[in-house]
Structure 1
Amino acid sequence: MDLLGESPPGYTNYQRYTFREWISFVVHALVGFVLANALFPGLWRDVLVLSSAPTETAIFRLLALAPEVGFGLLTVVIHEAVHYAACARLDKEPQFGFRWGSFFGIPEPMPYVVSLHHHLSRCECFVTFLAQLVVIDAVALSVSLVLAPLSSVPSFLGYFASVALLVNTASATRDVHNAANVLRFPGGTKFINVLRDDIETFYCVPTVETQ
C-alpha cells in the first residue's frame, strides 16, 4: 500500500528527503568534546585516567556519577517533550518513538518525536527542529549566568545547568543540521513523514505555475 498517496494539487511528485548523516555524527562528536571541555575542564583527562584504572575503581567512580547521568537522561526526556509540544502546537499530531542507532559503531539509544502523514512547511520544520535547543539552552544559560553567581543559590544548581547545556546542545546537532538543510528547499515546499521499515521523509515543491 502506498502510504504517501498523491502529492497535493499544484505540487510535483514526492521525492525522498536525504541529508548527509555523517556530518551530524562528526559535529555531534566535536560539539560534545569541545563543550564538555569548556564546561568541565579536565573531564577528558579524568576519562583517560579512568580508562586505565582497575575495574573496581572505575565502577566506583562511574557509580559516583549517577546524579549527572540521571539528570542527563532527564534532559533528554525534556528535549523530546519540547519537540512534542512544538509539534502539537502546530496541530501535527506528534508521536513518541524509540530506536537504536549507531555512533561511530557504538550502539546509541535514540528517542524521537515524529509527525506522520501531515504536511509540514519549511517554517514548521524549522520550528520543530530548533524549539528544544532554544528553550532548554536558554533556561540552562539563564541559570548559569544569572542565578548561579548569586550567593543565596546552591552551587549545584549551576553545575547541573551545565550538564543540561552539554547534553541538550550535543543532542541537538542533528536537529540543527536538518533545520539548516530544509532552508535549501524552495519556499512553499511541503515535507511529510511516513513509517515503513523505518521513518522516511519525503518532500514536494510547488510547480512553476503556483510559485
Structure 2
Amino acid sequence: MRSARTILIWAALAVAIGVPIAAATMSPQLAWRGPVYILAGFAGIIALGLVLVQPLLIGGYLPGLQAYRGRRAHHWIGGALVVAVVIHVAGLWVTSPPDMIDALLFASPTPFSPFGVTAMWAIFTVALLAALRRRLGLRPRTWRFVHMPLAIVIVAGSVVHCLLIEGTMETVSKVALCALVLAAAIKVMADLQVWRKRRTLRGESIARQ
C-alpha cells in the first residue's frame, strides 16, 4: 500500500512538471525563436517546477525525503533553482539586452516583468542568506522569520509572472502548474503554523505542570 502511494505521489509530481514542459515543446512559437531564447524560456519553466518542489520538500510530503533528507534536498533544489533563473535571465539578456535592462530597472512596459524580477531578487536573497546562515549566526526562528516572507514573494511573483506571459507555455497546463505551486505553498505554511502552535501549547502545558 505504501509503495503504491509513493509511486502515485512521485508520478503526480512528474506529470505536474513534465506536462507543461512537454506542451511547451509543441508550441508553434518555437519556430520563430533562436536556440538561446528557447533555452532561456525552458529554464524559466523548469524554475517554476522547482518552485513547486520546494514547499513539498520542506513540508515532508514527498516519500523518502522527509526530515533531514527533505531539508538537504530542499537546499540542493534551491541551488538548482538559482541556476535555472540565471540561465533564464542570461539567455534573455543575450537575445535582447535593452529589454532586460528595462526589466531589471523596473522600467519595462510589459506587465509581467516586475513580478519576475521581484521573484528573482527574492530567490537570490534567500540563496545568499542560506549560504551565509552559519556565518551570520541566524537561529532557526530568525531564519524562518526572514525566509517565510521571501518565500511568499517568490511564489506569488513567479506565479503572476508566468500567468501574465503569453509565450510558449500551453494555457491549461500553465494554469494548472501555477495553481499547484500556490496550493503547495499555502498547504505547507498552514501545516507549519499549526505545528508551531501545537508545540507552543505543549510547551506551556509542560511548564504549568
TM-score by length of 2: 0.30
Could you say which structure has the larger radius of gyration? 1
